Each structure stands twice: as structure tokens, then as C-alpha cells.
């Protein structure tokens, strides 16, 4: 009983410790936000490219028309905040199997307080098997 009384009377928290914990938590939340948003947008772009590749097969778009495919892919990348250069997008179409393959390389800028990281990403999608 005497031990419980001593523990109850002690103060283990100080103002400096509380401020440090709050600052540390704020930095962690900010880092998660700065990294998490680009990762989420990358996942959305991957899903968008997957839908595009399969939608084109279903709607019989001419895969030989690479200019329109390049335009759609660069537009989708810009919509999610990424810069995808046309020369870094490779489109392969195999007419015998009716498979469209798309390889796309882009960089995701992640701003972390005083410096910027360029996160390099490669996306490779192809039509589902028929």
C-alpha cells in the first residue's frame, strides 16, 4: 500500500519531455504525409494503366496507334502529378496473341524539408490472358 502511494505522488512528466514528444510525433506525421501521398498516387496510376490496357483490348482500339496510347499514358501520369516522358514509355503489341505490353519509367519527386528525393518507378503492365 505504501508503494502505491509513493508512485501516485510522483510526477514522471515534464514540460520539456512533453514538447519533445509532440515535436517528434509532428515530424513523424509530416514524413508519413510527404511519403505516403506520392506512394498512394503511384498506386492509383498503376491501377489506371492496368484498366487502360485491359479496356483497350475489350474495345478493340488499334494498338498500332502508339501516338494516342502515348498521349493517354502521359495525360494519366500528369493527372496524378508525375512527369512521364514519351521516350521512357515502351509499347509492344503482339498481334498473334493480341497482347499489349506497356513499360513506363517515371520519377516521383518527394520533398523532405530541406532536400528532395527523386523516387524512380517502373510500371510494366500487359493485357490479361484471353
Length of the chain: 130
% pLDDT > 90, the chain: 2
Q: Is 50 exposed, middle or buried (0-12, 13-18, 19+ CB in 10 A)?
A: middle
pLDDT at 100: 79
Query: What are 72-87's pLDDT values in tens digits?
Result: 888 888 888 887 788 8
Instruction: Report the pLDDT averaged over residues 107-130.
Output: 79
Instruction: Identify whether the C-beta of residue 52 lies closer than 8 Å to the C-beta of residue 70.
Output: no
Closest CA to 53 of 89, 97, 101, 104: 101
| Helical pair 15-59 and 66-79, crossing angle rounded to 10 deg | 160
Q: Which are the contacts of 77, defined by CB distance < 8 A and separation ≥ 6?
A: 45, 83, 84, 104, 106
pLDDT band at 48, cuts 50/70/90? confident
More confident residue, 55 or 103: 103
Amino acid at each position: 500500500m505504501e508503494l502505491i502511494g509513493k508512485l501516485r505522488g510522483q510526477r514522471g512528466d515534464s514540460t520539456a519531455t512533453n514538447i519533445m514528444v509532440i515535436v517528434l510525433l509532428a515530424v513523424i506525421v509530416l514524413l508519413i504525409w510527404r511519403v505516403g501521398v506520392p506512394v498512394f498516387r503511384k498506386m492509383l496510376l498503376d491501377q489506371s494503366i492496368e484498366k487502360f490496357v485491359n479496356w483497350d483490348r475489350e474495345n478493340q482500339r488499334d494498338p498500332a496507334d502508339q501516338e494516342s496510347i502515348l498521349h493517354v499514358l502521359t495525360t494519366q501520369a500528369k493527372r496524378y502529378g508525375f512527369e512521364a516522358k514519351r521516350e521512357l514509355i515502351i509499347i509492344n503489341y503482339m498481334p498473334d496473341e493480341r497482347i499489349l505490353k506497356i513499360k513506363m519509367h517515371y520519377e516521383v519527386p518527394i520533398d523532405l524539408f530541406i532536400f528532395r528525393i527523386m523516387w524512380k518507378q517502373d510500371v510494366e503492365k500487359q493485357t490479361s490472358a484471353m
